[in-house]
Amino acid sequence: MPFKDKLFRMAKRLLVSTEEAEDATQEILIKLWSKKSKITSYNNVEAFAMTMTKNFCLDRLKSKQAGNLKLVHSNYTDSSTSLQNEVEAKDSVNWVERIMDELPEQQKMVLQLRDVEQYDYDEIEKLLDMKPTAIRVALSRARKTVREKLMEKHNYGIA
């Protein structure tokens, strides 16, 4: 499936743990495969799969299994940068992820879909069943929160 990586990234953003996200992605792909004859009638199979992933992950977080989710991240490596730049980049990515994890669920989802997954506003509207103005407001607030908290972190102790 051309969009399985998007499903994984969405699951990882919600579940945090790589292992949990892999399990969730596999579950979703199995469900999609078992319902492939019915799914072909949908206009946008990718949007349907993303909605399934979102719902599955939110259900998983509500279950008792959520108690043992942990933060493990190793997605961002760039061999062309110096070690110091690489460490700084990983630190910044980790800070952004921590900040995003603290956002309200709706803001987190909109920020993930728009800025990470590069979805159009129309697609986000269908996926999250939100009005365009609500999407823009949630995205603006999420970006503002991330920006402010990053500035606090970077300016800490400098005055």
**Mean pLDDT by 10-residue block, N- to C-terminus, for the chain (159 residues)?**
81 84 89 79 78 85 56 46 70 82 90 86 89 92 90 67
As given in the structure block, the two tokens for residue 50 are 């993303």
Cβ atoms of 110 and 139 closer than 8 Å: yes
Q: What is the pLDDT of residue 80?
A: 52
Is 1-67 in CATH node 1.10.1740.10? Answer: yes
Q: What is the pLDDT of residue 94?
A: 81
Is 81-159 in CATH node 1.10.10.10? Answer: yes
Taking CA atoms, 22 is separated from 13, 15, 18, 35, 87, in Å, by 12, 10, 6, 20, 26
Cβ atoms of 70 and 20 closer than 8 Å: no
Q: Which of 118, 2, 16, 141 is nearest to 75 (CA)?
A: 16
Taking CA atoms, 145 is separated from 57, 115, 140, in Å, by 24, 14, 9
Domain segments of the chain: what residues? 1-67, 81-159
